[in-house]
Amino acid sequence: MKIEKLVVASHNQGKIDEIKRMMAPFKVDVVSARELELPDVEETGTTFRENAALKANQLSEISGLPCLADDSGLCVDALGGRPGVYSARYAGPERDFDRAMEHLIEELRNSGSNDWSAHFSCVLALKIPGRECRFFEGKVEGEIVSEKSGHNGFGFDPIFKPHGFDKTFANFTAEEKAKISHRGRAFEKFCRELEDLISN
């Protein structure tokens, strides 16, 4: 099945824009679940992979189109891997990430740990009707900083500093971030196979 239109299983505009930018070189019409007025799938899985598969499978079935879903999150070592799959829920129903970042920093201060190591993980799930889900994973290591910095990106980007850099993700341009981010790395793996996927 040749992919001409691809549904992105997200209602998060920041994530949608990032994925559309990464898909720009491919001649595929990328539309979001929001644009097609598809439901926001409840993330009941306990892993990024389970949640990505849930979204990709359900929205592909509803729309009849190939669907790309991503589940990603921030995992902080001193907090036992939290917020992890609950990263978006840290921001509450109103998606207030300023509050979520303050809450996370407060938790770290209360943990008594001086190790604020963290990583972002991303799992992409591609569901093509009639085929099994395919998965592509990416990860970036770094640390949490105590003060927000930068205005680009979204989510926890203003408090995450990737290893090897002296600035947070929110200080990167979209193009710079795509080269090293967890989602960028997962997309790199996805794009390696995309030529075959869109022609077969």
**Of 17, 29, 71, 115, which residue is the catalytic one?**
71
pLDDT per residue as tens digits for the range 173-189: 988 998 999 998 999 89
Residue 128: what pLDDT? 92
Residue 60: what pLDDT? 96
Cα 92–93–94 angle (5° rounding)?
90
Residue 94: what pLDDT? 75
136 close to 124: Cβ distance less than 8 angstroms: yes
Residue 197: what pLDDT? 66
178 close to 187: Cβ distance less than 8 angstroms: yes
pLDDT per residue as tens digits for the range 95-131: 788 899 999 999 999 999 999 999 999 999 999 999 9
Over 60: is that where the pLDDT of 54 sits? Answer: yes
Share of the chain above pLDDT 90, in %: 62
pLDDT per residue as tens digits for the range 34-50: 888 898 888 899 999 99
What is the DSSP secondary structure assignment for residue 4, as one 8-state letter? S
Q: What is the mean pLDDT of residues 53-61?
A: 96
Give catalytic status of residue 70 as yes or no: no
Residue 178: what pLDDT? 87
Residue 124: what pLDDT? 96
Amino acid identity for residue 96 in this structure: D
Which class in CATH covers the domain with range 5-199? alpha beta
Over 80: is that where the pLDDT of 74 sits? Answer: yes
Cα-atom radius of gyration of the chain, to the nearest Å? 17
Residue 200: what pLDDT? 56
3 close to 198: Cβ distance less than 8 angstroms: yes
What is the DSSP secondary structure assignment for residue 191, as one 8-state letter? H
In this prediction the pTM is 0.87
